[in-house]
Structures are given as C-alpha cells and as structure tokens.
Structure 1
C-alpha cells in the first residue's frame, strides 16, 4: 500500500500542474476593452414578491431587453409576469422649470422648486401651479438644500431636494435655508478668455452655518406653519419622518452633535413636543436614513442607536417612551428589512457573527426570539422577504464564492438555489486568491482586518511589490468577506505579479462605536497608526519587497495617503493621493466638527492631525492629484500642502485635472487611471508599461 501511494503522488502532482497550466490569464482586451470571458454572468434582479408563494425575477435576455417572471416557491416553475405600466405610477404633466418634481402619494399634486429658490405646488387635475413661498433668492432657499445639508445630512442622492410629502398627501414639510451669513468659497474655472469664479456658500470648520427653519405647507388651506424652532440657534435638522397616523417627527441636533432629540410637531400651530433625547460623550450621527422606523398607526416606532457602543434596535411607543430593547449585542451596519406588525417580528440585516460579513436575523418586538436566518460563512448582502415572512431570497457570496441567489424558508432552511453567477468558463481562467488576515494594533487593543489578493502563480519564496488601496474614514470600512469582481484591473496586476491589499482601522465599523470613539478630537491619528501597524506587518512577511509599498486612496483615503507619506514615512515609501483633505480646518462644518469639534475649541487636535504638521518627515515619493473644480474637498487642500513641500525643497509629483470635481470621469478619468498604472509599473514592477496601454481608447475600466 505504501509503495502504491509513493507512485501515485508524483502522478497526482503532474495532473494538478497540468490542470493549472491549462488555465489561461485574462487578455488586455478582456480587462480594458470589456472583452467577453464568460467567467461570471449577471444575476437576475429580485423585483419583490407577487404574493407569499411567488417571487419576481427580472433578467436581461439575449436580445438585450428585460423580462420579468413570476416563480413558484414550491415548484420553481417560472411564468411570464407583465411589466408594470409606468404611466400609472406618475401622472403625465408638463411642469416648466420644475426641479426635483415629486408627486404626492395620491398622485393628485406635485411639489418642486425652481431657480428662484421657491417651493411650488401643482394641482394635476386642474393644471394649476401655486407658489407656496415667495422669499426665495440667491441666499434664501425653500425646499432646496444648502450645500452642507446636501453633502453631509440629506445626502447627494436627494439632488438638493429638501421637502417631504405626508402619507395622506395633505401636508408638505420643507426646509427653509438662509445662507446670507455663510462664507463664500470661490472656485476658479478657466473657461473662456477671462475665466470666471464659481461661488459656493461653503461653511468650513468653525464657520457660520445656514439658518434653518422647518415649514409645513397645508395643501387644502394653502398656508404655511413654521415649527417652533429659533432659526438663529446653532443647530442641525435631520430628515423629518411622517408617521402612519400623520404625526411629523423632526430630528434636531446641537452644533456639537452630541445631543439628538426628536420632536413631534403640531401641524396646526407649529408647537413642538420632545419625544426622544439621546446624549453621547463623543458624537451622534445625524445623517442616518433609517434611525426611525414607524410601525402601523398607534403601535409606536423602532429607533436605531449606537449609544451602547453597537447599533441596536429599540422599541418606543407613540409618545417616545422606551418599551424595551429589541436587540442587545455586537450588531453593526444594522438595517431593518421588514416589520411584521401582526406577528410582532422585525427582520433585519447586520454584521455580528463576523464583522466582515452581513447576516440576516429576526427578533420579536419584545426583544425575545433572536434568530439568525442566513446560512454558512457568507456575506448576505441582498435580502427580500415574502409578504408574510414565509420565505426570503438572499444574495450571498464570500471571497472564494461568486454571488448566488437562494430561496430560504422561515426556519432558515435553503429550499433551492435560484441562480448562480458562475459562468461557463469559470474554471478556465486563473483567478487570484484573496484572503483575510488580522494584524494586532500597536497598542494591542484591536485585531485589524487586512484583505490580501495574491498574484497569479504566487510563490512564497519570491518577494513582491505591494499596492495598498485604502479609504480609512469613520465607519467606512472596505474589508469584507465578499466576492471581488473578476476581469478588473486588479486581475491584470495580479497577473503582472503585484500583491494588492486593503486595510481597515479601528474606526472602520468592525469594532462598533467603541472603536470609533477613539478618533474623537483627533481624526486621523489612530487611523494612520493602525495603517502603519498593518504596513509594518506586511514588510515583515518574507514574500513582500519591503522597499516597494505603495499606498493610494481618494478623499479621506487621499488624506490617509498624505499622512502615510509624512507621519508614516518610515513605513510607506510610495503613494498616490487623490482629492485629499490635508488640514481639517479646510473641510466643512458638519462632517469635521462631528469628530473634531471646532478649531477654536480644539486647536491642538487640528494641529496634530494636519498633514502640514508632518511635512518635514516626508522622504518617499508622493503624487498629489486634484481636480480644480472640486466642490467637496477644495483644491486649496492640495495647494497648501504643495506650498509647504516646495518651501522645504521636497521632491514630489503633482497632477492637475482642469474643471474636474470630486472624482474624475470621461477622458480625464481614463488619463488619471493611466497615469496611476504608469506609476505602478515604474516604481513597483520596475518594467515598461505594456504598449497596449498607449493605444487610443485602451484603458476603459477603473482600478
């Protein structure tokens, strides 16, 4: 038997080598010109449920058109499902000059703003337009966000919309902004013979914020009631919430952002009643779209809060009295998927079992019966629950398993696989291996997650250059145990022999609010020290060329990159910093002060987290990249850093993109990626950039 095994091992090894050799690498055309590989295919889209026993899938057919089918949960049989008539969802109207046109729930009215910054109402049946406000101007905005609210509180997805219909279509809540005392930041645009200035009311840390009022317009009475707040107070308002029984709840927060209150507003006279009060020693996030979830009329609401250090759910009655905690544990990224008010059960998604994965749970509103419904060691990133909770569909994956859809019953038992993204050529190509590692922080407090993608044909006896892609901002981790797309430039550089890495620090969300609280009043200090700990660990690995570490990121990731090449210069020799903050006094009030307080209140904190403070330590090679029309992180940040480096006679590279905003698109985006690839070839791979990159219209995908 031993002799037979001895003869078999070399044979099996030869077979394994032969099988591996038969696999092929991606070609340049497949990666950069969208060439076909059939390694993975697009999953159908889960469009919801027709009823508790039939789910809806939409997928692209061979001829390119979309088709929807209704699938029986028991038999798996699919039948065509008629596409919804979109004309039934939105009345046909002609509204001249309307911005953010939004129809009332009953479709009888439309609300919108115009360039005069007033709020308008349109009666669909009568074809009549009513001007709800009259004081709009260049500095008075009705229903249209001031920049800092658009960017930091309401979100860019709103497209500056700052008005909300009640469920009964009788009222319209809106925000009124007075920007007249907010400082103007000029952005020079080099178009035309003389160019021009684009002026934005942009409050930087410590500056005056816009004055905000909350108005409630009555559709029937055609009048406006103002909520009882003093617009001149130093305060913020979050997105309002309408309850099913017609209550209007307003989220209010003080300037320091450590006290959140909800007020119920009387729609008749604007008087307010406090229904929730939360205080924390550091900060509370206001830009939280799912903080309040109302139950059916009279049954209260669920509030999400991280006040105990993790994101848990709490059940409150209609008067804001706490009934009980629904969850109690190390949940993060908590998101309510569905509430079954009849069964008194809430379904939600969160990271708990593993901070790099999402799981699906249910729990009673009374805080009992917590059950994990998702299966296996996967990240379940898409969940769709049937109307009565009898089934759900999950979209799941991990680093070694491409995305798939599965039908699961109410007990968490898999009924069947609905679809897999594995293509017909999945086993025909060399795909890089990715894995999670954990590195102990310098202070021994945290096990920091590190995602490593190894080169194709990785040989641990060789030394490889390393490209580190980071972001690093508060609660914005990038390290997850989920499938990473194939056929991307990451695949190309794995084939070229480069190790590719992502780090997450203690404030990334992996360690809840407890980890986040470390950065209070010193935004950037612990983050860069955690990244340095990961960098030092990498340099100790026998398969890493310790002289060829390059770190890159954009926005907060650009800030981290600048810090890495200054504060962390002994660890990181190369970097490309895109659209970077370099000193927090140059960024906006709401974001910066949440973590740092004001420069007047925390001067040492601002000094200790400024890239400029550590410019004298710079000794590697940093490329600084910025768009001249960046309205988010102003190019001012890069200019003051460049000025400092020049005065110190430091060598660096600078790439300017005329007219580009916060992130580059079109030809400028292609050029930016092209130049980054050239940097990697020159300093990490130390070989010429392939001629294919020089061909016209070659690099079409981002890194």
Structure 2
C-alpha cells in the first residue's frame, strides 16, 4: 500500500521527535507573539440543515476582507462563496443563518464591552435577492432571528427591540432600561462573567413569544476605574459590580406576546439567580433554571406560557454547589436530556416530560466533558469524555438506554467533534502534546474516517528548525492523591547536573492545565525557558477538574488552602530529585494562578525563592459574588476561609523575590487587589518588584503589551532563579 506524504510526515515527526532536539534555533518571545507559530483551523463552522453541507468563515486580516464559504461534507469540495465583503457589504467577523437559511445576519465593527459582550453594527443579507439591510442605524447587542427569519430581536441601551424585516418597522418592547439601573434582555456584569452568557432573551419555537430576564441593578454597589488614555484628563468607567457578600441584581422573568406586545411577568417563587432559560418543543412551554444564593440548590421549572404558571421538573442539591448545565436538550415529546454530577462524576441522564428520571445514560469513574446532541432517528447520544484518562478526550456514541456504547475516535490526545445537523458526519479536531490540530471527516455511526480536511504540517515543518523539548506526562503522589503532572527538561539535559525548577499552574476550581493537547502561547514560552536551562513543571492539585466532584470540591470554603499545600509539597518532592537545584525554585501564575503563586511564595518561603503573580486576587473579599460565594459562601458566613488564605494577612512571610503585575483597567480582578498587596508589603518593609500596565484589562494585551510583559517576566526569572 502506498503511504500518503502526509502520513509519512506525521510518522516522521512522531518517530523522530528526538531529532528536533538536535536543532539549535531557539524560540524567541517576538516569534511567540507575532503569529509565527499560529495554527490553522475551521473558523465559525456551521452545519447546514440538509446535513450534507457546511459553511466556514474566511477572514483575511491583511486585506481586510471576509467571506462565507460552503463545502460538501462527503467530498470536501468547495461548492461556492455564499457572500463576500465588498464596497456594498461591510467587512464582517461573524454570521448567523435564519431558520430557513434564506438570510444571513452579519456582524461588523464589533467592539468589546466585557469578556463576552460586544456592541456592533449588524446587517441582514438576503441570499435570494442579494440585498443587504441594516438592522439598526446604531450599534446594538445580541441580535438574533425569529424562527421563521422574518424578524430580528436585539438589545439597545438596555431595552429589547424587534425589527420586522419586510415592513422595515422596529418595535421597542421594553421602556425602562437605564444604564447601571435596569437591564432588559442582556446580562449584568457578574452573570456574563460567571454564568457565561450575554443574551438573556429567547424566541419560542414558532416565534409567537419572547421570554427575557430583567435585571434590576439599583441596589448593586458601583465600581469605578480610571481610564487614562491620551487626553489631558482621565475618564472614568463606572459599572455595577457585586463583590462577595454584597447585593446582587434582582432578577425577574417575563414573557412577551409578539402579536400584542403585551409583557407578562412569571412567578417563580422569587428566585435568587436565573442562570438559564430555554424554550421546549411545545411553543407554550419554557424551561427555567434557578439557583439559590449559595448555589447548592438548582431547580428546573416548566413555565406554561398560556397562563404563566410554573411547575417544578427537577431539583438538585449538593453540600457544596451545583453546576449550571448547558446540555439540556428536549426531545420531540419534551422528554429531556440532562447532565449532572450527582453520582460524583458528571454524567448524562434521561428524564420524561414530567421530570421523572427514566435512566442514567452514562456512568463510571470518569467525566462527560462535552455533550454534543441526540440523534432521534438512531436513538444515539453523542458526547466527549475522559474515559481514556483525565488528560485525554475521546468522542463516543451511546443509546439513550445506556447500551451500544462506541468509541468513535482512536488517537490518544484531545478529540473534539462538530456534527452535521442530521448526525451523518462529524468533523474531528485532534491534537496532542506532539501533534498540532488536525481536522478529519468521520462517519458518525462507525467513527470511520471519510476524508482528511486540514493539517498543520507547515507548522510541523517550521518547528523542525527549533529546539523543542517534549512534555513528559506522569503523576506525582502528594498529600494522598495522585496528581497529574508534566515536565519539560532542558534541551541538553544531563542527569548529573542540577537545574533550577520553574513551576506553572492555575489551580482554580474545575480547571485543568495538565492536558495532552497542542501547545498554546505559554507552552512556547516554557520551551524557550527550557532551552535556557530551566526545568518547567506543571501540577494540577486538589480542586482542579475532570477527576470527579469529590476531588474538585475538596477546596470548598477554603480557596487557597489545599491547592497551596499541594504546590508546596510538589515543589519539595521535585527538589529532592538529583538533577534539580533545591535552592532555585520559582512559581508563577495569572489571575487565580497569581493568587496561588503569591501564597506559595509566602507560605512556602522555605521552598520557593521566586514568584511572579499577574493580575492576582489577593483577597476573595474583593472578587465577585457569584464566583466567590459558589466556592466560599459569603464573607459574613465564612470570615476565616476568606482571611486565613489571603496573602494580605501575612506579608511579613516574604523572603524570596516577588514580581507583581496588573492592568489598571482590569474590570474582572480589580487593581485594588494589587494595590492592597503593595500596601501590605510596604507596611511589612518587604522589597519587591511590580509593574502596572495602563488601561489594560485582565488579559493585559494589545500592541506590544504581551511582548513587553513576557520580556519583563523572562528577565526576572533569569535574574532571580
């Protein structure tokens, strides 16, 4: 059998990975941040309703042009360019089809508000007439088609509007929206950040009704940030931000009759949080998820839109907290699929339309990490899980009764699927620590590969000229647990020599940094440090994810206690290795990781000689209500949990070298955290280094910012470790 050039290239890369170690070209920070090592992918892929074709967004940032390309699944042939930006069609960066796929909603000139929210100009493009029309003359939020594609609902200035395309008439549905007071149809800051959604309105299945959440922010305390800019005087940004223990928005649910525009409130027994709403198949049935303030009691309601009465479908409780699910799927008869951690691991459950449990579909000491959907014709549920190890992912199918389970992917590493609308095919995205992302087409029933789509062999060829040091995956026994770990050794590693140890981690609840996946930008930085003679290690301690709820929730009410103990213990154990210099141990992290690195340097001052903290939380009293109270309850209920693990309360323990970095316009982890840490260290007469990046948010990027930051951190490591 003749082997393809692509297969030979992959075999060469995997079998001769050690040959790369002989290459002496070193990765530079400039290359990391100028796109030298970027990967190719399929951007904004959408399956068309016929299940035979799909579209992707093609963007050329150099020429400032964009287009939507249509491909056939089976042959992978490009069929046509559906639309391209031109003199009459603005450059667009996102798109949405109407339900009948006769129209497109194109997003242009998007500007970020917070992490997920944007403002932009939107246009409807008619695929038959080739006409384009502006949805609004001003920037709007979260527009979406009605089910029949005849209308577009959107939010502007905290109010909901509906634009009728044929008549070009716009109806304002709500009238009371006011900045920093009342929001209709989009979420407030803390919902957006912690419940991870922005659009808080939904069309029902026939377009006759619209449900939305209203946020009354009146009692929520305000937070302000100075934005320095280039003018003579700075500007000030003021927004509502509920810190732990403070007032949250009062939320209420409403349903609009689109024919009469009458708005009716829904009585849900005064819920504290409404993190999800979703219409059922019946156009008069709305599902609503609610949470209490402690987030340990989740309820799923069914609302009858005819009379706005509600009934309880199911309730879940937990001693710690219950996670909100995005996996809720309603069948034709409104029986539904649900995911839950109630047996100790995240699994799939099937309920009837009345909320009665029919059966647990998946079970075992592993996690369902993604739910893809249900094929009613074949009675198959598709999902991704950790059945092949917590650092790996595979795609599976299983019958709704839990039988006929089949593993659909074969390669060890990260496998993710994008299914055709009729579940005939899926496009598998595969990567591993030694394999950049590759895209292949597969038959959904068998998992058999149908066609190759895209490989990043240009990147592989480029990396042949660099010193690349493979991650060595293992586990380390710490505090009675086998913790996942990877290690990168220097290029010319010599077991008779001693090397400095540099630890990287994030450590937040449910997170994962030890993963058999392709390199991100930080991994290239770690490769650079390894080439400079550092041993780089990452350990996922207690509280991280994908090993069951008991492992994840052990940090409940004590953020920064067990995670810090694990990092210190791991550093001590690694320092006992003959090739590690126990007098040269450093640690770094960003956000939660910065909170951790700061605590490790202080509480582990006999172990760590150096730490870098970027945008760290220094007291959970300063962070937002939903995230913090989920894991800590309120400061009023749990003062010791907040204070005993806050580095603000023991700055005198600092012995090593400490670099503290923050963006002055961080709306998420406020600069207040760093300023209070600075003040505490000054009071304790402790020397340290610090840097503030003007007008930069939590990600601290833009222009040369990342290059400057990583240059500063690299220099600090070389000078102090």
TM-score between both structures, scaled by the size of structure 2: 0.84
List gaps (5 residues or longer) in structure 1.
1-15, 685-703
Deviation at 1:575, TM superposition (A): 0.9
List gaps (5 residues or longer) in structure 2.
1-15, 84-94, 96-101, 106-123, 125-132
Deviation at 1:30, TM superposition (A): 7.5
Cα pair 2:68 2:82 within 8 Å, conserved: no
Partner of 1:355: 390
User: What secondary structure is seen at the aligned counterpart in 2 of 1:239?
Assistant: strand
Cα pair 1:41 1:422 within 8 Å, conserved: no
**Correspondences of 1:84-123 after superposition (within 5 Å):** 84-85=82-83, 88-90=103-105, 91=124, 92-100=133-141, 101-115=143-157, 117-123=158-164
Range 500-509 or range 665-674, more displaced: 665-674
Partner of 1:129: 170
Instruction: From the superposition, tell whether residues 501 and 29 of structure 1 become closer, same or farther in structure 2 (CA, over 3 Å).
Output: closer
1:150 and 2:192 equivalent?
yes
User: What secondary structure is seen at the aligned counterpart in 2 of 1:89?
Assistant: strand
Cα pair 1:578 1:626 within 8 Å, conserved: yes
**Correspondences of 1:447-462 after superposition (within 5 Å):** 447-462=482-497
Cα pair 1:69 1:78 within 8 Å, conserved: no
* Equivalent position to 1:495, from 531, 535, 545: 531
Instruction: From the superposition, tell whether residues 359 and 643 of structure 1 become closer, same or farther in structure 2 (CA, over 3 Å).
Output: same
Instruction: From the superposition, tell whether residues 168 and 401 of structure 1 become closer, same or farther in structure 2 (CA, over 3 Å).
Output: same
User: What secondary structure is seen at the aligned counterpart in 2 of 1:677?
Assistant: helix
Cα pair 1:521 1:595 within 8 Å, conserved: yes
Partner of 1:577: 613
Partner of 1:280: 318
Cα pair 2:190 2:242 within 8 Å, conserved: yes
Question: How big is each residue's C-alpha offset from its partner over 1:184-215, in whole Å with a ceiling of 9 and x where there is no partner?
Answer: 22323445555454322211111111111111
Question: How big is each residue's C-alpha offset from its partner over 1:238-292, in whole Å with a ceiling of 9 and x where there is no partner?
Answer: 1201112222111111111110001111213322111111111110123x433x1
Aligned CA RMSD, in angstroms, stands at: 3.0
Partner of 2:287: 249
Question: How big is each residue's C-alpha offset from its partner over 1:583-610, in whole Å with a ceiling of 9 and x where there is no partner?
Answer: 1111111111111111111122112221
Partner of 1:42: 40
1:176 and 2:214 equivalent?
yes
User: What secondary structure is seen at the aligned counterpart in 2 of 1:174?
Assistant: strand
**Correspondences of 1:58-77 after superposition (within 5 Å):** 70=71, 73=74
Instruction: From the superposition, tell whether residues 589 and 415 of structure 1 become closer, same or farther in structure 2 (CA, over 3 Å).
Output: same
Instruction: From the superposition, tell whether residues 135 and 518 of structure 1 become closer, same or farther in structure 2 (CA, over 3 Å).
Output: same
Deviation at 1:674, TM superposition (A): 2.1
Deviation at 1:499, TM superposition (A): 2.1
> What is the rounded CA distance, in whole Å, between the counterparts of 1:33 and 1:204 in structure 2?
34
Deviation at 1:465, TM superposition (A): 2.2
Deviation at 1:571, TM superposition (A): 2.0
Instruction: From the superposition, tell whether residues 427 and 663 of structure 1 become closer, same or farther in structure 2 (CA, over 3 Å).
Output: closer
Partner of 1:365: 400
* Equivalent position to 1:542, from 559, 575, 578: 578
Paired positions, count: 651
> What is the rounded CA distance, in whole Å, between the counterparts of 1:144 and 1:53 in structure 2?
34
Partner of 1:141: 183
User: What secondary structure is seen at the aligned counterpart in 2 of 1:308?
Assistant: coil
User: What secondary structure is seen at the aligned counterpart in 1 of 2:410?
Assistant: coil
Instruction: From the superposition, tell whether residues 17 and 207 of structure 1 become closer, same or farther in structure 2 (CA, over 3 Å).
Output: closer
Partner of 2:431: 397
Partner of 1:596: 632
1:215 and 2:254 equivalent?
yes
Instruction: From the superposition, tell whether residues 334 and 520 of structure 1 become closer, same or farther in structure 2 (CA, over 3 Å).
Output: same
Instruction: From the superposition, tell whether residues 317 and 36 of structure 1 become closer, same or farther in structure 2 (CA, over 3 Å).
Output: closer
User: What secondary structure is seen at the aligned counterpart in 2 of 1:119?
Assistant: strand
Instruction: From the superposition, tell whether residues 282 and 183 of structure 1 become closer, same or farther in structure 2 (CA, over 3 Å).
Output: same
Instruction: From the superposition, tell whether residues 72 and 474 of structure 1 become closer, same or farther in structure 2 (CA, over 3 Å).
Output: closer
Cα pair 2:666 2:698 within 8 Å, conserved: yes
Partner of 2:266: 227
User: What secondary structure is seen at the aligned counterpart in 2 of 1:440?
Assistant: strand
Instruction: From the superposition, tell whether residues 521 and 125 of structure 1 become closer, same or farther in structure 2 (CA, over 3 Å).
Output: same
Partner of 1:8: none
Cα pair 1:93 1:124 within 8 Å, conserved: no
Range 322-331 or range 450-459, more displaced: 450-459
Deviation at 1:642, TM superposition (A): 1.7
Range 421-430 or range 615-624, more displaced: 421-430
Cα pair 1:225 1:267 within 8 Å, conserved: no
* Equivalent position to 1:433, from 443, 466, 470: 470
* Equivalent position to 1:559, from 587, 590, 595: 595
Deviation at 1:346, TM superposition (A): 0.2
Partner of 2:720: 683
* Equivalent position to 2:373, from 335, 338, 345: 338
Range 303-312 or range 529-538, more displaced: 529-538
User: What secondary structure is seen at the aligned counterpart in 2 of 1:640?
Assistant: helix
Partner of 2:541: 505
Cα pair 2:610 2:657 within 8 Å, conserved: yes
Deviation at 1:309, TM superposition (A): 1.1
Range 90-99 or range 411-420, more displaced: 411-420
User: What secondary structure is seen at the aligned counterpart in 1 of 2:604?
Assistant: coil
Deviation at 1:611, TM superposition (A): 1.6
Cα pair 2:21 2:467 within 8 Å, conserved: no
Partner of 2:679: 643
TM-score between both structures, scaled by the size of structure 1: 0.86
Partner of 1:694: none
Instruction: From the superposition, tell whether residues 29 and 438 of structure 1 become closer, same or farther in structure 2 (CA, over 3 Å).
Output: closer
Deviation at 1:568, TM superposition (A): 2.2
Cα pair 2:203 2:209 within 8 Å, conserved: yes
Question: How big is each residue's C-alpha offset from its partner over 1:629-656, in whole Å with a ceiling of 9 and x where there is no partner?
Answer: 2111111111222222111111111211
> What is the rounded CA distance, in whole Å, between the counterparts of 2:167 and 2:568 in structure 1?
65
User: What secondary structure is seen at the aligned counterpart in 2 of 1:240?
Assistant: strand
Partner of 1:6: none
Cα pair 2:27 2:524 within 8 Å, conserved: no
Instruction: From the superposition, tell whether residues 644 and 412 of structure 1 become closer, same or farther in structure 2 (CA, over 3 Å).
Output: same
Partner of 2:339: 304
Instruction: From the superposition, tell whether residues 407 and 661 of structure 1 become closer, same or farther in structure 2 (CA, over 3 Å).
Output: closer
